[in-house]
Structure 1
Amino acid sequence: MIPHADDADPDPDVSIVIPLYDEVENLADLVERVREAMSATHHSFELVCVDDGSTDGTDRLLLDLAGTRPWLAPVVLARNYGQSTALQAGFERARGRYIVTLDGDLQNDPADIPALVDRLESDPDVDMISGWREQRQDKALSRRLPSAIANRLISRLTGVHLHDYGCALKAYRRHIIERISLYGELHRFIPSLAKEAGARIVEVPVRHHARTRGKSKYGIDRTFRVILDLILIVFFLRFRQRPLHAFGGLGLWMLTPGLGMLGWLLVLKLAGEDIGQRPMLLAGVILVLAGMQLIVAGLTGELLIRLYHAGGLRPQYHVRPAAPPRSLPPAR
């Protein structure tokens, strides 16, 4: 692993985290455009580029560029782990008060970064800014249509209403990133995870450019993975602290009609009717057994959550950092 900077250096104001995978054609231009954008501001910065197992020489070029740029912090992963893991690796090495993410394909414009940082600095009521590619330059319907459907579906199910979940250009206060842990492919749902961590989120339009170099890493198969990940994130947001409400609730919905069926069959049996060949008997038994298993699973989940919190592995709540006092006008 390549260290990002001397530990004796003061922490920068802004950490820009960019995951890279086979972006050798865009990398040099990307680094220069980030430098130009940040050099025009009063903010100190570092650029944390995470190479996610590229095979086209991105890693070698990244190390060469870092040799003459002390503000460039290269991280080279041993293999391709996926965008979520690459982002997490960057987050763990970022030192800035504000953390900005964007893609490495130059479709996001680094010139938008200063405005996002200035908004965080000037507005204490905002913890995260999510970019909105209002004038999106992707022409392929195979990308635009699934993205539009996914944005509506995710917004509805998670309660975090954004126009553009897929925009990688986002800015955060550091304490929000410290509360988030990414794995799998949860990078698509960072706004939802941030909201669960207490973030106040706004969405602002940002520029978007068509890809001119390199090859897109997205395909239609991503839609099916998004659906599966959405099921996970909805369960996580709604039932992480109370698994019995999820499993137990479903178990009661199955147990109640099952007991009703068996009760009715018991009445018929006492009345002298033969119930041994009735399909209702088998259905009732299956519903009762399945319902009981789900309730037991919910109780087991509650015990695990209790042990998890008792061990202090994760806090049950977060306290909002105190905002710096605003200057008052002089007394008359």
Structure 2
Amino acid sequence: MEPAQNPLDVSIVIPVYNEFDNLPDLVEQVEKAMTPANVKWELICVDDGSRDGSDRRLAELAEARPWLKPLYLNRNYGQSTAMQAGFDAAAGNVLITLDGDLQNDPADIPRLLKELEAHPEIDVLSGWRKDRQDRTLSRKIPSRIANALISKVTGVSLHDYGCSLKLYRREALANVKIYGELHRFIPALAAQFGARVMELPVNHRARTRGVSKYGIDRTIRVLLDLLWVKFLLRFLHRPMHAFGSVGAVMLVPGLLALAYLVGLKLFTGADIGHRPLLLLGVMFTLMGAQFIGMGLLGEMLTRIYHEPAGQKQYVLRDAPRKSGVR
């Protein structure tokens, strides 16, 4: 994300999908929270291909509000893409995200801004819905399991990865691009480039209008995305270590099995053509060679990405970090 030429203090980014009834209250509550905050701010609402007229309502609301900047995606791309579109259009030094369903409380934003200002060493301030107003069996328990798993895999420990209310310093997102369903992993992706993350409790409200966009299929998507994030964090610059290790585990037993059968044939004349071990050895050898080949291809792609395009493998900072926060 390129720095803005004339940055504001704060850009609030809200992905919107079929929130026609919530939009007037959402805009009003954001305005009520930010007007006395004594900062220059803008509200970017990204309509993610809504089908209920949310785009038209956003246009109406923006007519008398110069700080409200609607964006309209051509179709429903998903929350991550909508959020990235908002980040690309944002002009603020601090970027704030929250949901458009009014379950996040905009009144929390000024308090979180003060906390971020009080901790200059922090790059990402993540909300924690400590008193979450959702169903226990279908939402709370799966969320706790997912948060524990994500924290374990990524090494960035948070109680609530799913809370959309988060504050980011612009530089923390400079090297982060999100797509698919990666929006919930932004703190971990930012931490890969050295961002410091802190978590604070925020208010959470029950949904009163509209329909939740999340179902049980989200759990499957989270697990698949977590596998990708794990690979990204650990093996992005050394894919041979990932694919090569799996290939070696398969190739070595395969070659040993084939060597045993060849020796058996040469020294005893035994018939090995119908032995299951022969098929197993061939299969392991071929699969192992394929994985090692994938690792070599990954190494080549890594170098193509970094060398001709000039993409550095590291990020420098201007000065030493302040002490006190890990």
Q: 2:236 aligns with which of 220, 234, 240?
A: 240
Match of 1:227 among 223, 226, 230: 223
1:277 to 269, 274, 281: 274
Query: Structure 1 residue 324: deviation in Å?
Result: 10
Do the aligned residues in 1 keep the contact of 2:121 with 2:321 (CA within 8 Å)? Answer: no
1:26 alignment partner in structure 2? 22
The CA deviation at 1:30 is 0.8
Work out which of the residue numbers 307, 310, 318 in structure 1 matches 2:307. 310
* Structure 1 residue 241 displacement after superposition: 0.7
Partner Cα distance (1:122, 1:140) in 2: 35
Which contiguous aligned blocks of 4+ residues in structure 1 show a shift greater than 6 angstroms? Answer: none
Q: 5+ unaligned residues in a row in structure 1: which ranges?
A: 1-6, 326-332
Mapped to 2, the partners of 1:139 and 1:184 lie a distance apart of 26
Q: Take 1:319 and 1:124, find their aligned partners in 2: how far apart are those partners? A: 17
Partner of 1:249: 245
Deviation readout 1:213-253 (Å, 9 max, x if unpaired): 11111111111111111111111111111111111110000
Map residues 105-120 of structure 1 onto 2, 5 A cutoff: 105-120=101-116
- Name the stretch that deviates more: 306-315 or 55-64: 306-315
The answer as to 2:95 corresponding to 1:99 is yes
State the SS of the aligned residue for 2:126: strand
Alignment deviations for residues 195-218 of structure 1 (CA, whole Å, 9 cap, x no partner): 112210011110000001111111
- CA–CA separation in structure 1 for the residues paired with 2:318 and 2:107: 29
Q: Is the 8 A contact 1:19 1:50 kept in 2?
A: yes
- 1:125-136 → structure 2 map (5 Å cutoff): 125-136=121-132
What do you get for the CA RMSD once the two structures are aligned?
1.7
Distance 1:298 1:180 in 2: 24
Query: What amino acid is the match of 1:63?
Result: A
- From 73, 77, 96, the equivalent of 2:73 is 77
Distance (Å, rounded) in 1 between the aligned partners of 2:108 and 2:318: 26
Q: Per the alignment, in what secondary structure is the counterpart of residue 107 of structure 2?
A: helix
Q: Deviations over 1:29-61 (max 9, x none)?
A: 111111111112121110111111111111111
Alignment match, 2:63: 67
Q: Deviations over 1:68-104 (max 9, x none)?
A: 1111111111111110110000000101110100001
- Among residues 26, 45, 56, which one is paired with 2:41 in the alignment? 45
Equivalent residue in structure 2 for 1:288, among 277, 285, 308: 285
Match of 1:158 among 154, 159, 176: 154
Separation (CA, whole Å) in 1 of partners of 2:65 and 2:272: 82
1:15 matches 2:41: no
Pairing partner for 1:192 from 182, 188, 191? 188
Shift of 1:139: 2.0
Unmatched tracts of structure 2, length 5 or more: none
**2:106 corresponds to which letter in structure 1?**
P
8 A contact 2:97–2:167 mirrored in 1: yes
The alignment partner of 1:171 has SS state of strand
User: CA separation in 2, counterparts of 1:286 and 1:169?
Assistant: 49
Residue identity (%): 58
* CA displacement at 1:62 relative to structure 2: 0.7
The one of 177, 180, 191 equivalent to 2:173 is 177
Question: Would you say how many aligned residue pairs link Structure 1 and Structure 2?
Answer: 318
If the length of structure 1 is used for normalisation, what is the TM-score? 0.92
C-alpha deviation, 1:320, in angstroms? 2.3
The TM-score normalised by the length of structure 2 is 0.93
Aligned counterparts of 1:217 and 1:276: Cα–Cα separation in 2: 57
Q: Where in structure 2 are the equivalents of 1:133-148 lying within 5 Å?
A: 133-148=129-144
Amino acid at match of 1:309: H
Q: 1:301 corresponds to which residue?
A: 298
* In structure 1, C-alpha distance between the alignment counterparts of 2:101 and 2:184, rounded to whole Å: 17
| Residue 258 of structure 1: how far off its partner (Å) | 0.9
Please identify, of 115-124 and 198-207, the stretch whose mean Cα deviation from structure 2 is larger: 115-124
How far off is 1:271 after superposition? 2.2
Contact between 1:198 and 1:320, CA under 8 Å: does it hold in 2?
Answer: no
- Deviation, 1:123, is 1.3
Shift of 1:322: 3.6
Counterpart secondary structure, 2:21: helix
